[in-house]
């Protein structure tokens, strides 16, 4: 079974000071760029958004690929846990992609999806530094559904370190996220 991509885009961009999902990125916005990356990878995708009123127009753009998360302000772990339960059962795994990482290559999604056919957790690495997005086989979804707060899957990865496949890639974009105006100015070209 093929993996799909879950774009986490329900955050509030507190450090940015404005909605970073809507910032210009080449010929679109950062979030639209994330969606284009998923489409160009050839993998199915879903976008996790909050129920905040300002996400209503974004949700319309995402159409049936949108997942609305109640209380997304409780953090990334809460958002991921809620979204996991709504993903297609046909997916053999999920690649968790953070919407504010626009430099990730589409081929990275494909390589992680391939490795998920043989490994339970796939973590991309560039020059011996772990990055994102990260892949989780369907067998770990029940544990992902128990996440809380803003921690993400860090403890799950530690608990199942024997199931991890660190995938060395030539993609520095797995290390770059856009959290501040300075980050945006540095990387937006």
Q: Residue 133: its pLDDT value, please?
A: 97
Asked if 98 contacts 132 with a C-beta cutoff of 8 angstroms, the reply is yes
pLDDT at 24: 66
pLDDT at 51: 82
Rounded Cα gap, residues 25 and 148, in angstroms = 31
Confidence at residue 17, expressed as pLDDT on a 0 to 100 scale: 60
DSSP-derived letter for residue 38 is H
Identify the pLDDT of residue 172.
95
Task: For the chain, list residues with pLDDT below 50.
Answer: none
pLDDT of residue 4: 97
Give the pLDDT confidence score for residue 27 in this predicted structure.
84
pTM of the model: 0.93
């Amino acid at each position: 079974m093929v993996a799909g991509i879950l774009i986490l885009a329900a955050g509030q961009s507190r450090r940015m000071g404005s909605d970073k999902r809507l910032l210009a990125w080449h010929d679109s916005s950062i979030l639209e760029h994330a969606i284009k990356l998923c489409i160009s990878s050839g993998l199915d995708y879903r976008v996790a958004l909050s129920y905040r009123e300002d996400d209503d127009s974004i949700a319309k753009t995402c159409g049936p690929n949108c997942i609305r998360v109640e209380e997304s302000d409780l953090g990334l772990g809460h958002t991921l846990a809620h979204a996991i339960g709504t993903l297609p059962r046909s997916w053999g795994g999920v690649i968790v992609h953070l919407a504010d990482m626009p430099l990730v290559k589409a081929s990275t999604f494909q390589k992680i999806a391939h490795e998920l056919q043989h490994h339970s957790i796939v973590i991309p690495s560039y020059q011996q530094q772990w990055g994102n997005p990260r892949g989780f086989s369907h067998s770990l979804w029940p544990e992902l559904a128990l996440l809380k707060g803003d921690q993400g899957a860090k403890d799950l990865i530690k608990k199942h370190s024997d199931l991890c496949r660190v995938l060395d890639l030539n993609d520095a974009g797995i290390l770059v996220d856009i959290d501040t105006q300075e980050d945006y100015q540095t990387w937006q070209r």
